[in-house]
Amino acid sequence: MLTGPLLIGVFLLAIAILLVSIIKFRLNAFIALLITSLVTSILVGMPIGDIASTISGGFGSTLSGIGIVTGLGVMLGKFMFECGAIETISNAILNKFGEKNSPAAIAISGFLTGIPVFGDVVYIMFAPMLRVLSKKTNISMVTFACAISVATTCTYSLVIPTPAPLVVSESLGIDVGIFFVYAILTAFVATITGGILYGKFLDKQDKKNGHFYTFEDIEEIEDELEATKETRPMPSFMKSLSILLVPIMLILLGSFVPLALGDNNSVVPLVKFLGDKNVAMLIGVIYAALISKPYITRSISDIMNDAADQIGLILLITGAGGAFGKVLQATGIADYIAGSLSQFSIPILLLCFLISQIIRCAQGSTTVALMTTASILSGTIAASSVSPILCAIAICAGGIGLSLPNDSGFWAISRFFKISVQDTIRGWTVGGFIAGLSALAFISILSLFQNVLPGLL
């Protein structure tokens, strides 16, 4: 196989093939990743008999770690959406904050609902309400778009059970419960800076420049929202929140109880079993189905089947990303890139962030960027003195910002909130980048105390 700088050339060519496949030829990301994996293997001179097994091995090992929990996570989010739990949570937070502080309320709502629900679903659900709020409060629509999109992407990039951070945690072999605690704190800090504070700046800027949207169709939206409020039975706030908290609390107990009691305590095996991410999410889905039953108009089976239809492509893309990462490892590309960058004495946390951010910016997918970066740097992280949990968070932080028009999420935000491309860049691309940088700054501070903070070493 090739060695030295030629490996870098093959890697850059592989990224170019991936970009052209997705952007120019609009190939499905699953097919594009498989083609890129195959071409990369051939170009570096991998033995022909090893190519298929390496790709399938990477695909299988990735899904064995996250396949079940990803599928269950989509089902959990589907139940929250169908029974009205997401709407209940967002309305309660909005009422608590008031209209003046509604962007902050929307950001927190997006932060919570973005954990079990994928971004496009959150945007679809919130868009009508946000356009009505913008009209009523005279707060810029770009501010609301920034608040919800940055918040949901922070949780998507950083907080399990979403696929991207799960893949990173599996690749680096870290405890998902401890990772969850530090990741959700980091995501919250990033949401405040990139979603709320920067959103306020956008509102002041738009007021100063007289830049507002007219909302010609707003009356129809208002009528639909009022009709929904009057006719639809909704779960209480605590019931709604409990659907989200049950699996999370089980996972946290499974991680922290053994730390507190020690592995020899008789209770620990049971707690570890219930706190296993797959078991906890299964219990969470069963609980969600029982709580949702009085409030849904369709059968539990139909909702699960709909969720299963969405899961398929997500798992295929995730598995193919794992296959590409395995090829990078098996061919020596990952080790060479990590070694080359290490010569520049770049701090490991910054290195994790930079590689993830560059790949994210280049090809548009947060999931692909995080998976690829974790594969490239896994060996370097293991050999470093910095907590692998903080390195994992730095990788995830790099996947938040600099979303460009090669990202499908960019167009989803523009389309659902009916804002211009320029405003999407102002609110989402820049807001996400600020969120990512603030996440990196926060974990850099945490690294100074990693010897005393629980679970980091």
> Contact at 8 Å (CB) between 235 and 79?
no
As separate numbers, helices (DSSP H) first and strands (DSSP E) second, the chain gives: 22, 0
Amino acid 80: pLDDT = 83
How many alpha carbons lie under 13 Å from residue 279 in its C-beta half-sphere?
12
CA dihedral 122, 355, 389, 116 (to 10 degrees): 10
With 60 as the cut, is the pLDDT of residue 225 above it? no
What's the distance, Cα to Cα, between the start and end of the chain in Å? 36
Amino acid 207: pLDDT = 92
Amino acid 420: pLDDT = 86
Single out the residue of 311, 317, 283 nearest to residue 70, CA to CA: 311
Q: What is the pLDDT of residues 428-437, one digit of tens each?
A: 999 999 999 9
Q: Is the peptide bond before 235 cis (omega within 30 degrees of 0)?
A: no
Name, in order, each residue with C-beta under 8 angstroms of 129's C-beta and a sequence gap of 6 or more: 90, 225
Residue carrying structure tokens 């700046």:
201
> Contact at 8 Å (CB) between 332 and 11?
no
Chain-centre distance for alpha carbon 216: 33
Q: What is the pLDDT of residues 394-453, one digit of tens each?
A: 999 998 878 876 676 787 788 778 888 889 889 999 999 999 999 999 999 999 999 999
Name the residue with higher pLDDT: 195 or 18. Answer: 195
Amino acid 185: pLDDT = 96
CA dihedral 44, 371, 322, 384 (to 10 degrees): 70
Single out the residue of 35, 10, 50 nearest to residue 328, CA to CA: 10
Assigned token pair, 242: 């409990």
- Kindly report the backbone phi and psi dihedral angles of residue 264, in degrees, each rounded to the nearest multiple of 5, phi listed first: -85, -10
Q: For residues 75 and 281, what is the distance between their CA atoms, to the nearest angstrom?
A: 10
| Res. 242 pLDDT band, cuts 50 70 90 | very high
DSSP 8-state class, residue 160: T
Report if pTM > 0.85. Answer: no
Q: For residues 119 and 351, what is the distance between their CA atoms, to the nearest angstrom?
A: 27
Helices (H), 138-215: 141-158, 163-172, 176-190, 198-209
Question: b vs e for 101-114, b when ≥16 Cβ sit within 10 Å of the residue's Cβ?
Answer: ebbbbbbbbbbbbb
With 90 as the cut, is the pLDDT of residue 299 above it? yes
> Contact at 8 Å (CB) between 315 and 63?
yes
Question: b vs e for 275-303, b when ≥16 Cβ sit within 10 Å of the residue's Cβ?
Answer: bbbebbbbebbebbbebbeebbeeebeeb
> Contact at 8 Å (CB) between 389 and 178?
yes
| Mean pLDDT of all residues belonging to the chain | 85
| Res. 125 pLDDT band, cuts 50 70 90 | low
Q: For residues 79 and 87, what is the distance between their CA atoms, to the nearest angstrom?
A: 12
Q: For residues 451 and 454, what is the distance between their CA atoms, to the nearest angstrom?
A: 8
| Res. 393 pLDDT band, cuts 50 70 90 | very high
Amino acid at 5: P
Report which secondary-structure segment, H or E, holds 110.
helix 102-113
Residue carrying structure tokens 């105390």:
449
Amino acid 342: pLDDT = 66
Single out the residue of 411, 320, 407 nearest to residue 362, CA to CA: 407
Amino acid 343: pLDDT = 74
Q: For residues 376 and 3, what is the distance between their CA atoms, to the nearest angstrom?
A: 16
| Res. 116 pLDDT band, cuts 50 70 90 | low
- Kindly report the backbone phi and psi dihedral angles of residue 115, in degrees, each rounded to the nearest multiple of 5, phi listed first: -70, -50
Amino acid at 362: A
Q: For residues 72 and 87, what is the distance between their CA atoms, to the nearest angstrom?
A: 21
Where residue 364 falls (left for φ over 0; alpha for ψ -120 to 50; beta otherwise) is: left
Can you tell me the mean pLDDT for 131-154? 90
Amino acid 117: pLDDT = 64
Can you tell me the mean pLDDT for 49-68? 87
| Res. 27 pLDDT band, cuts 50 70 90 | confident
> Contact at 8 Å (CB) between 161 and 247?
yes
Q: For residues 457 and 450, what is the distance between their CA atoms, to the nearest angstrom?
A: 7
Amino acid 161: pLDDT = 76
Name, in order, each residue with C-beta under 8 angstroms of 87's C-beta and a sequence gap of 6 or more: 125, 234
> Contact at 8 Å (CB) between 104 and 253?
no
